[in-house]
Structure 1
Amino acid sequence: MNPIIQAARREQIIEAAIDTVAEVGYPGTTLARIAERAQTSKSVISYHFPGKDDLLEQVVLQIYADTWAFMEPRVEAETTAAGQLGAYITAELDYMREHRARLLAVADIVANHRTADGSLRFTPDAEGSQGAEGLGLGVLTDILRRGQRAGEFRNFDPQVLAVTVNRALDGALGRWVTEPSLDLGAYATELTTLFDLATRKPQKES
């Protein structure tokens, strides 16, 4: 099969899986339902993916990759660590607001998908791993460390604060799932202010 056609078919299947999980949830997602939404057959899905578990893992990895492709230029455009931290927070919430089905799908898969030994496949609080919102803690930790080396930020444990930022984003998105009217733009502003105050060096007394 033509590689371009293969890639397009895989993308079609992944998008159908995202929409299926977002609509019926992780437990109700089957290859038959995904095939129906993709307007193809289970055998075609099996040609591209060994099974449902592999397909759903690819869904998560694809969403992470797409999220970072959206976030990276906005983060890299900032010239200070404080600016990059704020851009990271705002960009992640902006992406998820614009792609609600992807948020619903990735959150459900990450919370439920397990390996053969019963452990969760995705562990958001391990540095370098991919987290439930998009990229894990590696990028955040690097931003915080650079800010400390540059003298922008006070002394703190970068990993602890990165986990805190990560969990704050989890909380915002989790609340938005149940409250679609929540203003994520305002939420991003509050989180940016909060972590600016948490990281900045105290002013010297005159």
Structure 2
Amino acid sequence: MLENEPGRQKARSFIDITRRAQLVGCAIEVIAELGETRASLVKIAERAGVSRGVISYHFDDRDELIRLVVAEVYERGRAVVQPRIEAQSTAAGQIREFIVGSVEFYGRYPRYIAALTAIRVSAAQQRTANPTRGAVTDELDAVARILRRGQDDGEFRDFDAAVMATTIRKALDGAVEHVLAGGAGEPYAAELTELFRLALCRNPRNPHSEETLLS
């Protein structure tokens, strides 16, 4: 039968992957517009132009769909930010590009950020497990590793890397609010870059330090 032919199985798998990606994209749009609690499977299905049963076929439940929305947002963010980080040879340059790239991502994908924010807010209001917690922890750990490397290499002064990573993240949360309110990425990114240059550098008033670290 056709279902047992290898080519047919691959085609069905590709179709399933494509449909799941479409539904995740529609979920992002609906959550961004209505908030997480009002983004029912019926509304998401309507946005996708399918029946609710199609969503139930592709996802175990709504929680799985929400988890995949979170994963998609972070994956899209990595696609924007990670190449910028990897292009830098210094820890200071990597922190700069993490900040600038993150703000750029917020501006390019405001609906993604609006959806992620809505999911976080909903979890806090309902006092349920935050689906973004694991991704946030991974991001903080990655930033802290860069900060510790900068300290080991003599680029940065002594400080608690975990606390500083959280501080950078909280500052970027402010950038999220700014962009979602219609604000431009600049001069926000430039100001944050300068703020953390002063906070991180071992000798921020040294012009040579400025040139080699965060310029």
Settle same-fold status: TM greater than 0.5.
yes
Note the C-alpha offset of 1:196: 0.7
Change (3 A) 1:5 1:119: closer
Question: Is structure 2 residue 58 aligned with structure 1 residue 57?
Answer: no
Write the mapping of 1:138-157 to structure 2, written as runs, cut at 5 A: 138-157=141-160
- Deviating above 2 A after TM superposition, structure 1's stretches of 4 or more consecutive aligned residues are 116-123, 202-205
Native 8 Å contact 1:94 1:185 kept in 2:
no
**Do the aligned residues in 1 keep the contact of 2:35 with 2:115 (CA within 8 Å)?**
yes
Note if 1:80 corresponds to 2:90: yes
Cα distance, 1:8 vs. partner?
0.4
Aligned positions of 1:100-139 closer than 5 A: 100-113=110-123, 118-123=128-133, 129-131=134-136, 136-139=139-142
Q: Using the TM superposition, give the Cα deviation of residue 54 of structure 1 relative to its aligned residue in structure 2, in angstroms.
A: 1.4
- Map of 1:126 onto structure 2: none
Residue in structure 2 matched with residue 175 of structure 1 by the alignment: 178
Q: Distance in 1 between matches of 2:55 and 2:136?
A: 26
* C-alpha distance in 2 between matches for 1:77 and 1:117: 40
- On the 8 A contact 1:31/1:42 being kept in 2, the answer is yes
Report the counterpart of residue 80 of structure 2 in structure 1. Answer: 70
TM-score, scaled to structure 1: 0.88
Rounded to whole Å, the distance in 2 between the matches of 1:109 and 1:12 is 19
Give % identity: 36
In structure 1, C-alpha distance between the alignment counterparts of 2:177 and 2:129, rounded to whole Å: 22
- Counterpart residue type for residue 15 of structure 1: G
Compute the TM-score of the two structures, normalised by the length of structure 2: 0.85
Residue 24 of structure 1: which of 9, 34, 37 is its match?
Answer: 34
Distance 2:143 2:165 in 1: 6
Identify unmatched segments of 5+ residues in structure 1: 124-128
TM superposition shift of 1:51: 1.3
CA distance in 1, matches of 2:204, 2:151: 15
Distance across 2 between alignment mates of 1:168 and 1:185: 14
Contact 1:89 1:169 in 2 (8 A): yes
In structure 2, give the amino acid aligned to 1:147. Answer: G
Shift of 1:203: 6.8
Q: 1:203 to 1:190 in 2, by over 3 A?
A: closer
Residue identity matched to 1:47: Y
Displacement of 1:131 after TM fit?
2.1
Q: CA RMSD in A?
A: 2.1
Aligned with residue 15 of structure 1, among 25, 36, 47: 25
Structure number with bigger Rg: 2
